[in-house]
Structure 1
Amino acid sequence: MTDIPRRAVSRTAKLASLPLGLAGRAALGLGKRVTGTAADLVSAEIQQRTAEQLFSVLGQLKGGAMKFGQALSVFEAALPEHMTGPYRAALTKLQEAAPPMPIASVHKVLADDLGPRWKRRFAEFDDTPTAAASIGQVHRAVYHNGMQVAVKVQYPGAGPALISDLNQLGRLANLFRVLQPGLDVKPLVNELRARVTEELDYKLEADTQKAMAKAFAHDDEIFVPKVYSGSERVLITEWLDGTPLAEIIANGTEEQRDLAGLRMATLHFSAPARAGLLHADPHPGNFRLLDDGRLGVIDFGAVSRLPDGLPEPIGRLTRLALAGDADGVLSGLRDEGFVPRSVDVDAQAILDYLLPVLEPIGVDEFRFTRSWLRSEATRLANPRSDAYQLGKKLNLPASYLMIYRVTLGSIGVLCQLNAKAGYRGVLERWLPGFAD
């Protein structure tokens, strides 16, 4: 058996162990109940053990399992408070690191893509990776011109592994309801699968990063590292120092949290206007707060291409909603396909559905918190709520799907940061239609 099939079998076995482990813990819980252990304590213990196994397995894998875990970690802030303790540490680990690949494999990829004399490109090359993520890992080096650089090297066989993991995770979707009963991960898995081809092409990522770096050159809020070279599986960029957002989430000062949140919002709304691109992977591992207050941004494998910027109806309909124009909002939502023509809904009910979500931009300053996000998640996802019943009648047009997911993911990070800022001012500056 070759190494690649052997690794594939190992990966599948690890993923397959998840539901078996859950069944065993459920049986253990039943036994404890029979012997008189309090039900709430048993449930908490099962949740904790399940979380530990779930994210331990995801953390040991690369490809789709790791990428899925990183994407899911953004939504940690929406989990009920009594559940977040067991999950938070495991989730945060997925935002920054994964097990590294052997250095011999790294050298082989570098030789295949850069040529047998690849070492001549570097004055120094550190064989110990500084970061390892879902489809590649990063090494620090000194380029031949003396510049400090980051060398991102793709894992051999990353493409087949990515697809295999995502297919397996799609079949295990029900398991993730351990995190939250109403959690449906299938749309997230499907979207990650659809982005596989682009993310595996480091040449395309290099072109995207160059466009972003040009758009934000000499900017005093956002910093994008320069690209030196990009091949199919190797990307060489300017080295980026700074404090990782995961560290700020865990131990940052209030000033750092607020500034990081403001900068993330600025990136989200300004990049489509300035570069025609939306950074579509908003997990904390992709951001650094620099000493000069700028937000450093890395990893441009996942982007949404918006050559005309964010759609004008988003800003216009948000403005109408905040102004209380229920009829105007309903009419606009029908025009954009959010409310099917065949569906009969009350305009005021639609406005009441939207206004709580728009609270952060209805005031001059707002602090995003986990409790706010949990409250909104409960309101919108509780089958017994009026908002849930109304939501079932609405539609999310395909052209808005990526924007919606990235916005939701960014909000999740802002809530993890507990960040306060003038988000309304960011929209007034950058969102078409909002300030008209």
Structure 2
Amino acid sequence: MAQESNYKTTQSHLPESRTSRLLKLGQLASSVAGGAVTEGFKRILSGRDKSAPSLLLIPENANRLAEHLAELRGAAMKLGQMISMESGDLLPAEFSKILERLREDAHHMPLGQVAMVLDSNWGKLWERQFKRFHFTPIAAASIGQVHEATTKQGEHLAIKIQYPGIRNSIDSDVDNVATLLRLFRLIPKELDLSTLLAETKIQLHKEADYLNEAANTIEFKKRIKSIKGFRIPSTDLDRSTHEVLVMEYLPGRPLDQLASDPELVRRSVAERLVRLALHETFCWGTVQTDPNFANYRYDSQSDLLGLLDFGAIQFYEQHRTQAFNHLLQAALEGDTKQMELAAVDVGYLDEQAPDRYKTAVIELLKCVTEPIRISGEYDFANSDLMNRMSEQAIELRLNQKYWHLPPHDVLLLHRKLAGLYLACVRLKTKLNVRALAVELTI
């Protein structure tokens, strides 16, 4: 009954209890410390810099951290992903680059653990309902992994199975990993993680409830009917539980495999992605905030773009959506004063912000909204926008005495828009983003 897939990951037994997960983190701490000692002796012999922070931030330690977090999965891995995405500009280049692996790589469960989770949720005789069940996953991420299966009735399914013990370990994982990062100074001391940690716990508890994701999927499927060219899988609520999500299998290739497709295809897919993101943010107030390329599957036969993974949905209240629209309109009109007022509404600025800080924030927002502000086609493939944004973000964070962190739901939107930009870059497309944005304001 077991079938193989083309998906390549490392298989490892997932530590389930809080004690075993804490022991894993302890092993990581010892490994990092040992790596620093070894590097210290090397530098003593060579006469190079022997400062503690530089010893801890060597690539070998970053590799150890990424590997251990990928093995633990769950909140530990998710926190590494979020720190990489939200704070990459403040991290040493080698460390940030290695942490980026956590956005895509995860170990997967051995067959025994897969069967254990399914036995617990479906009963001992669950195999009888399937003609084929692929025990090797077709995808693995921080909270669960996805298996392909065909029922005896011929239903082609994608089944997301949550790693055992993940939901019960969320809070302790987040606290323990944060302590470890602080202890070894693997993140800058000026980076305040308190808000990020609290919001991460809330978000992960939502993402770890697969019935909640099923409801999100159904809601998003209703909204997507107003836009052509997309497909969202049907959800099997009868077979789904808090730990197992059963959906229709969608064929197709992830975005990163479309780079060599004809320009017409790449442009079409990019335009759909931008139009969808604009509707999510400025019309619906319902945003899928996980920008992983694997969450989009293009089927060339049907010319439909499949949308997957609705655990990370952010629902924005009307006042927040109105603030986003205020900022969009100001950017389209090039009105700096209105951009400043909108920045206050969104939460980028508060009344105490000094003029110099306000100016720096508005300049950064002008940079971010460049594809919308520029008339005609925007050349994503040859744009240096991300580099300019990084430089301005670093200057804003490190050279300003005053610092105001935007609300967490706004930071999640940053992640969405950054993923959208990178998708357009990967698709090597030119697109009239301004025209698509104007469609919403007419």
Distance in 2 (alpha carbons) for counterparts of 1:268 and 1:179: 31
Structure 1 match to 2:161: 153
Structure 2 match to 1:233: 243
- Is the contact made by 1:56 and 1:90 (CA closer than 8 Å) also made in structure 2? no
Structure 2 match to 1:325: 335
Structure 2 match to 1:60: 71
Deviations 1:123-154 (A, max 9, x none): 32222222222222211111343121111122
Structure 2 match to 1:267: 276
Are 2:367 and 1:382 aligned? no
Distance in 2 (alpha carbons) for counterparts of 1:72 and 1:162: 16
- Is the contact made by 2:364 and 2:389 (CA closer than 8 Å) also made in structure 1? no
Structure 2 match to 1:168: 176
Distance in 2 (alpha carbons) for counterparts of 1:112 and 1:65: 24
- Is the contact made by 2:290 and 2:415 (CA closer than 8 Å) also made in structure 1? no
Q: Letter of the aligned partner of 1:379 in structure 2?
A: Q
Deviations 1:345-398 (A, max 9, x none): 27766543432222222223141679532332222223687xx528x3545246
SS in 1 for 2:149: strand
Structure 1 match to 2:131: 123
Distance in 1 (alpha carbons) for counterparts of 2:430 and 2:190: 29
Go from structure 1 to structure 2 and tell me whether the alpha carbon gap of 1:253 and 1:77 turns closer, same or farther (over 3 Å shift): farther
SS in 2 for 1:227: coil
After superposing the two structures, state which structure 1 stretch, 229-238 or 108-117, moved more: 108-117
Q: Letter of the aligned partner of 1:14 in structure 2?
A: K
Distance in 1 (alpha carbons) for counterparts of 2:414 and 2:368: 13
Are 2:298 and 1:289 aligned? yes
Deviations 1:392-412 (A, max 9, x none): 354524664543443345445
Structure 1 match to 2:60: 49
Distance in 1 (alpha carbons) for counterparts of 2:346 and 2:317: 19
- Is the contact made by 2:196 and 2:408 (CA closer than 8 Å) also made in structure 1? no
- Is the contact made by 2:138 and 2:146 (CA closer than 8 Å) also made in structure 1? yes
Are 2:318 and 1:305 aligned? no
SS in 2 for 1:208: helix
- Is the contact made by 1:339 and 1:393 (CA closer than 8 Å) also made in structure 2? no
Structure 2 match to 1:426: 436
Are 2:214 and 1:206 aligned? yes
Structure 1 match to 2:289: 280
Distance in 2 (alpha carbons) for counterparts of 1:16 and 1:309: 45
Structure 2 match to 1:140: 148
- Is the contact made by 1:281 and 1:302 (CA closer than 8 Å) also made in structure 2? yes
Distance in 2 (alpha carbons) for counterparts of 1:91 and 1:399: 22
User: What is the Cα deviation at residue 259 of structure 1?
Assistant: 5.4
Distance in 1 (alpha carbons) for counterparts of 2:285 and 2:388: 33
RMSD of the TM alignment (CA)? Answer: 4.1
User: What is the Cα deviation at residue 171 of structure 1?
Assistant: 1.4
Are 2:100 and 1:91 aligned? yes
Deviations 1:72-104 (A, max 9, x none): 565698689x946x8657734x34442222434
- Is the contact made by 1:283 and 1:413 (CA closer than 8 Å) also made in structure 2? no
Structure 1 match to 2:9: none
Q: TM-score of the superposition, structure 2-length normalised?
A: 0.78
- Is the contact made by 2:104 and 2:141 (CA closer than 8 Å) also made in structure 1? yes
Q: Letter of the aligned partner of 1:36 in structure 2?
A: S
SS in 1 for 2:164: coil
Distance in 1 (alpha carbons) for counterparts of 2:37 and 2:18: 30
Deviations 1:26-57 (A, max 9, x none): 444444444337769xx799632123212111
Distance in 1 (alpha carbons) for counterparts of 2:360 and 2:175: 39
> Number of aligned pairs?
421
Distance in 1 (alpha carbons) for counterparts of 2:281 and 2:26: 40
Which structure 2 residue ranges, 5 or more long, are not aligned?
1-12
Distance in 2 (alpha carbons) for counterparts of 1:342 and 1:231: 48
Distance in 2 (alpha carbons) for counterparts of 1:296 and 1:177: 41
SS in 1 for 2:279: helix
Q: Letter of the aligned partner of 2:288 in structure 1?
A: H
Go from structure 1 to structure 2 and tell me whether the alpha carbon gap of 1:193 and 1:218 turns closer, same or farther (over 3 Å shift): same
User: What is the Cα deviation at residue 67 of structure 1?
Assistant: 2.2
Go from structure 1 to structure 2 and tell me whether the alpha carbon gap of 1:13 and 1:261 turns closer, same or farther (over 3 Å shift): farther
Go from structure 1 to structure 2 and tell me whether the alpha carbon gap of 1:71 and 1:341 turns closer, same or farther (over 3 Å shift): closer
SS in 2 for 1:119: helix
Go from structure 1 to structure 2 and tell me whether the alpha carbon gap of 1:325 and 1:217 turns closer, same or farther (over 3 Å shift): closer
SS in 2 for 1:172: helix
Go from structure 1 to structure 2 and tell me whether the alpha carbon gap of 1:415 and 1:288 turns closer, same or farther (over 3 Å shift): same
- Is the contact made by 2:121 and 2:241 (CA closer than 8 Å) also made in structure 1? yes
Q: TM-score of the superposition, structure 1-length normalised?
A: 0.79
User: What is the Cα deviation at residue 155 of structure 1?
Assistant: 2.2
Distance in 2 (alpha carbons) for counterparts of 1:52 and 1:254: 37
Distance in 2 (alpha carbons) for counterparts of 1:419 and 1:177: 40
